[in-house]
Structure 1
Amino acid sequence: MQAEAAPRKRVVVGIDGSPASYAALRWSVDYARMAGAQVEAVAAYDVAGATGWSAPAVDATLDAEQARRTLNREIITALGMPQDVPVEEHLVRGNAAQALIAASEGAELLVVGNRGRGGFARLLLGSVSQQCALHASCPVVILRAPEDTTEAAAT
């Protein structure tokens, strides 16, 4: 009998197009390279008005296609091409924190940026990264975006 191959180690990373998520993706790839793991880039999206009366009806399939193209473009922007570490793209409809917490099941590590695109710019920790730190089923690494030297020079 042939022995089954051990499942490959997984590093899950949240990506939302923010500078902090790009830093998290690059760090994840570097870590995965050293650990012999694969990277699972997880992005969450939601359809406007899907759960209430806040927007006109939309085509959910079209939104999913747009979100998939955006995720692919963000990975290429953050990493360039090609990569020596496997990066799987996972697009999930719904809440980002819940999607990342679910994806953390069985993972070696969950990596997120300290803040995404929404909320208050001066917060040190966003709600998604905070929820992941509290509820993920694996260790969590929270990364800050590199300092923007142009903004620092202007202040």
Structure 2
Amino acid sequence: MTETQEARDQPAVVVGVDGSEPSRSALRWAVRYAKAMGETVHAVIAWEPPVMFGLEMPVGIDTDFAADAFSVLKETVDTVLGPTPEVKVRTSVFEGYPPLVLVREAQDADVLAVGNRGRNTVAGITLGSVSLYCVAHARCPVVVAHKAQDENRGRSPW
């Protein structure tokens, strides 16, 4: 686990970040909510090593997955929130299956925010695997953010 700020203050808003536009929307929502409620944002990214079905990692691949995940998290937080966020933001990188990590980290949170990429044929109606798992298993309320619908006008509903 890598953390960039001090220990969590209770209560908190946990937000899953993966660098996608829906996760950026979730982060924007989490910051607005945390600001209104006087809370801390805990931005979380989780990674898993690629599945190789019992094979060793191919020769020549020397990837530090945790460092790559941290880079995505830091870039996303810095891009969305700028150099001086309006609320206290703590970031963490975990190895593990993202939905399990998010539900675990949100077990004492006031709310969990996740993005939904809408990768299936009925995008916008159904939830993805991570968001569906979080909605079904989190102990706290879950907010599912979608990609901004009014991109053409340059404004986000979040």
TM-score of the pair, normalised by structure 1: 0.80
Deviates most, 62-71 or 92-101: 62-71
Gap runs ≥5 in structure 2: 1-8, 154-158
Whole-Å Cα distance in 2 between the matches of residues 108 and 38 of structure 1? Answer: 10
Structure with the higher fraction of residues in helix conformation: 1
> 1:49: how far off?
4.0
Q: Percent identity?
A: 37
CA-based RMSD: 2.3
Distance 1:50 1:43, change over 3 A: farther
* Equivalent residue number for residue 3 of structure 1: none
* Structure 2 residue 136 is the aligned partner of structure 1 residue 134: yes
Distance 1:64 1:121, change over 3 A: farther
* Structure 2 residue 29 is the aligned partner of structure 1 residue 27: yes
Structure 1 stretches of 4+ moved >6 Å: none
* Equivalent residue number for residue 49 of structure 2: 47
Contact 2:11–2:40, Cα closer than 8 Å, also in 1: yes
> 1:53: how far off?
2.4
> 1:81: how far off?
1.7
TM-score of the pair, normalised by structure 2: 0.79
Deviation sequence 1:71-106 (CA, Å, 0-9, x none): 101111222221120111111112110110111111
* Structure 2 residue 149 is the aligned partner of structure 1 residue 149: no
